[in-house]
Structure 1
Amino acid sequence: MKPWGAQSEVGKIEKIMVKRAEDAYGSQEVLDSCWRDLGYTERVNYSKAMDEYDAFLSVIKSHVPEVFCLPSQEGTGPDSMYARDSCMVTDKGYVLFNMGKPQRRTEATEAGRLFDSIGLPRLGAIEGEGTMEAGDMAWLDESTLAVGISYRTNPEGVRQLRDLAAGNFEVLDYPIPHWNGPEECLHLMSFISPVDHKAAVVYSRQMPVTFRQELLHRGYNLIEVPDQEYDTMACNVLALEPGLVLMIEGNPITKGRLQEAGMEVLEFPGTEICWKGGGGPTCLTRPLLRK
């Protein structure tokens, strides 16, 4: 089996990178000083967040053989807990991103240090005028990557990624709606989470028509999130393996629809670590190897 590579959103996760809440948040005082500037919806309760993250990490460790934890790092903040966004891991090596949110620009360097220390090869980086965040991308299959052009990921970033992807995978790009504007993060994965090779949880009201048509053309079963569960992040679902998914508690309609589609559903509490900061289980994880 290959040692690294995650050109899939649904293959069984064998290796993963996370950053524990305690190492991202630092303390209640740190959270109190910056949650408004970061665009969080409410003040995060540090103690409750620790309990929630422990529950989340317990599920991850029970299903993933190797878990790598990013250390506490000066210069990164609470957003660094959302370990997915600063990088990607292809079959050819890792790519570091120049993130569109200014407060997160140092996170890619932190991820690169960890990757180098564990022997993961480097493919390249998005640099200069290019911006990119991994929340704006989803693998449709092992050779096709969908990327959203948003307030966080720009056309120059996509151009650079296409250069890096040459001969390895195809990049399809789609415009992301304005929605509530640049102050509220809307990524491509705000409205889609693949949960099996031909199935995805979606919020179609936000989807570019051409993207939705591409999924249907590929034979995807689209499991719709109801309006009342969009704000509670029912669309953010992590596939631990095909048909086994992890989602935030409090979304019973979407959970039921996943189960009706044949999925096994695991849950964790995410009021503090997910809802307030705008990042669910996919955001909290960076798979390094999917089988």
Structure 2
Amino acid sequence: MQAKVPLPWLPLTRALLRPPVGELTESEAVAEWGYRRPRILADALAQHEQFKSLLEDADVQVDMLEAAPSELVDSCYACDPALVVPGGLLILRPAKGARLAETDLIERSVHEMGLPICGRILDPGNVEGGDCLWLDANTLAVGETYRSNRSGILQLRFLLPSVQVLAIPMVHHNGPEECLHLQSIISFVDEKVAVVYMPLAPVRLLHALQARSVQILPLPLEDFDSLGCNILCVAPGKVIMASGNASTVSMLEAAGIEVTTLEADDLMWVGNGGPTCLTLALERRSTV
């Protein structure tokens, strides 16, 4: 049975992906898009296909959207322009101006797929999917960041009257040009187990996890910059994450978590977006 909301530890059964597009110059990549270096598109496309195969091997139905126009180089991070909520999807509103066109693309795509749209975040609100994390079926944590603002969070509360929308103020860290989402610092890997990057973890988030008896696995410090905290749970105790995070893999395996890694620097690392960023989790199966 499909869960009312896609709690991030439930078995993932259906996901939406969008392939990477666009190649940037060095100056465009760093100054305009906040990338670590230009993406090699051919490599990114091959890595995206490998990621799709890993999902399908985990019995996930993958809906592949058409490629966005080449100027929308962040569009492969499919989790950001929409959010699955009880009854359908909300169309969100990215704070990064170059991504605003993605909202019309995702709205058209989900409409063509026959999926219900429950509402839309409007100016001056901003919410990105990377800042949204379901803690339980009735509680949505939302990072208050440079990408998701107070107006957007208030709109979420209006659109989701039966849900507790828990605002989680985040830190400045490296500033507005670098993406720091809530999901940059926490990933569930099982029903009551989450990996957390403790140096940037808001106390409000830690209290919310404690109240739900969630076991915290502190991310090894050396793995944060290599996206070690961005982990996609495809079933309870079964995850996909970026390669190059040996300490985190060892920690997870010692905790009984089955880990699959993907070498995907041109897909993930260059744009600071890991497996959860690439994936709009449309459906997860209830285990109750």
* TM-score for both structures, normalised by structure 2: 0.94
Distance in structure 1 (CA, Å) of the matches to 2:102 and 2:145: 19
Contact 2:81 2:92 (C-alpha < 8 Å) held by counterparts: yes
Aligned to 2:118: 123
Distance in structure 1 (CA, Å) of the matches to 2:4 and 2:134: 12
The Cα offsets for residues 228-281 of structure 1, whole Å up to 9 and x where unpaired, read as 111001000000011110000110110111111111101111211111101000
SS at match of 1:146: strand
**Any unmatched runs of 5+ in structure 2?**
none
- Report the alpha carbon displacement of residue 65 of structure 1 after superposing the two structures with TM: 3.9
Q: Which amino acid counterpart does residue 254 of structure 1 have in structure 2?
A: T
Distance in structure 2 (CA, Å) of the matches to 1:270 and 1:74: 22
Aligned to 2:171: 177
The runs of at least 4 consecutive aligned structure 1 residues that moved more than 4 Å come to none
Contact 1:85 1:133 (C-alpha < 8 Å) held by counterparts: yes
Q: How does 1:114-263 map to 2 (within 5 A)?
A: 114-167=109-162, 169-263=163-257
Aligned to 1:81: 76
Distance in structure 2 (CA, Å) of the matches to 1:235 and 1:163: 31
SS at match of 1:246: strand
- Aligned pair count reads 283
SS at match of 1:178: coil
Identity %: 35
Distance in structure 1 (CA, Å) of the matches to 2:106 and 2:8: 20
**Any unmatched runs of 5+ in structure 1?**
none
Distance in structure 2 (CA, Å) of the matches to 1:135 and 1:79: 13
126-135 or 54-63, which deviates more: 54-63
Contact 2:52 2:62 (C-alpha < 8 Å) held by counterparts: no
Q: Which amino acid counterpart does residue 105 of structure 1 have in structure 2?
A: L
**Structure 2 counterpart of 1:96, from 77, 91, 99:** 91
Distance in structure 1 (CA, Å) of the matches to 2:69 and 2:179: 24
* TM-score for both structures, normalised by structure 1: 0.93
Matched, 1:279 2:273: yes
* CA root-mean-square deviation: 1.5
- Report the alpha carbon displacement of residue 8 of structure 1 after superposing the two structures with TM: 0.9
